[in-house]
Amino acid sequence: MSTSKIVIVAGPTASGKTSFAIDLARQFDGEIIGADSMQIYRSMDIGTAKPTPAEQAVVPHHMIDVVDPDADFDAAAYAAMAAERVRQVIARGHTAFVVGGTGFYIKALMYGLFDDGPSDSAVRQRLKAQVAADGNAALYRQLAGIDPVTARRIHPNDTYRLVRAMEIYTVSGQPPSIVQQRHGFRKPRFRALSIGLSWPRPILYDRINRRVDVMMDQGFMDEVRRLLASGYARTLKSMQSLGYRHLTAVVEDAVPLVEAVRTLKRDHRRYAKRQLTWFGADPQVRWLEPGQRQQAGEWIQGFLGATMGDTPADGSSGIVTADRR
User: What is the pLDDT confidence band of residue 76, given thresholds at 50, 70 and 90?
Assistant: confident
One domain, residues 73 and 177: no
Q: Which residues contact 309 (CB under 8 A, 6 or more apart)?
A: none
User: What is the pLDDT confidence band of residue 89, given thresholds at 50, 70 and 90?
Assistant: very high
One domain, residues 197 and 249: yes
Q: What is the CATH number of the domain that holds 130?
A: 1.10.20.140
The Cα 90–Cα 86 span in angstroms is: 6
Range of the domain at 160: 121-183
195-206 average pLDDT score:
97
The Cα 47–Cα 13 span in angstroms is: 12
**DSSP3 helix / strand / coil % (the chain, rounded to 5):** 55, 10, 35
Which of 39-48, 107-116, 283-292 has the weakest average pLDDT?
A: 107-116
Q: Are 248 and 158 in contact (CB under 8 A)?
A: no
Residue that terminates a domain, selected from 164, 183, 202: 183
Residue 138 lies inside a defined structural domain of this protein: yes
Residue that terminates a domain, selected from 139, 155, 183: 183
Q: What is the CATH number of the domain that holds 22?
A: 3.40.50.300
One domain, residues 96 and 189: yes
48-67 average pLDDT score:
97
Residue 38 is predicted with a pLDDT of 97
Q: Which amino acid is at 234?
A: R
Residue 16 lies inside a defined structural domain of this protein: yes
User: What is the pLDDT confidence band of residue 270, given thresholds at 50, 70 and 90?
Assistant: very high
- CA dist 324 to 106, 269, 314, Å? 20, 19, 21
One domain, residues 81 and 199: yes
Ramachandran sector of residue 290 (left: φ over 0; alpha: ψ -120 to 50; beta: rest): alpha
24-49 average pLDDT score:
98
Average pLDDT of the chain to the nearest whole number: 90
Query: Is 320 a residue whose pLDDT tops 60?
Result: no
Per residue in 117-153, pLDDT (tens digit) is 557 888 999 999 999 999 999 999 999 999 998 898 8
One domain, residues 87 and 208: yes
Closest CA to 11 of 297, 280, 298: 280
One domain, residues 61 and 82: yes
In the DSSP assignment, the letter for residue 310 is G
Residue 183 is predicted with a pLDDT of 56
The Cα 41–Cα 39 span in angstroms is: 5
Residue 120 is predicted with a pLDDT of 84
Q: How long, in residues, is the chain?
A: 325
53-72 average pLDDT score:
97
Residue 248 lies inside a defined structural domain of this protein: yes
Residue 315 lies inside a defined structural domain of this protein: no
One domain, residues 189 and 254: yes
Query: Is 307 a residue whose pLDDT tops 80?
Result: no
Q: Which residue did the predictor score with more confidence, 173 or 220?
A: 220
Residue 319 lies inside a defined structural domain of this protein: no
Residue 179 lies inside a defined structural domain of this protein: yes
One domain, residues 234 and 285: yes
Residue 261 lies inside a defined structural domain of this protein: yes
Query: Is 207 a residue whose pLDDT tops 80?
Result: yes
One domain, residues 126 and 102: no
Residue that terminates a domain, selected from 183, 212, 227: 183
Percentage of residues in the chain having pLDDT higher than 70: 90
The Cα 256–Cα 1 span in angstroms is: 52
The Cα 10–Cα 36 span in angstroms is: 10
User: What is the pLDDT confidence band of residue 313, given thresholds at 50, 70 and 90?
Assistant: very low
One domain, residues 32 and 165: no
One domain, residues 209 and 246: yes
Q: Are 170 and 93 in contact (CB under 8 A)?
A: no
One domain, residues 34 and 87: yes
89-106 average pLDDT score:
97
Count of the separate structural domains present in the chain: 2
Residue 157, CB-side half-sphere exposure with 13 Å CA sphere: 15
Q: Is 266 exposed, middle or buried (0-12, 13-18, 19+ CB in 10 A)?
A: middle
Residue 236 lies inside a defined structural domain of this protein: yes
Q: Is 230 exposed, middle or buried (0-12, 13-18, 19+ CB in 10 A)?
A: exposed
Per residue in 260-269, pLDDT (tens digit) is 999 999 999 9
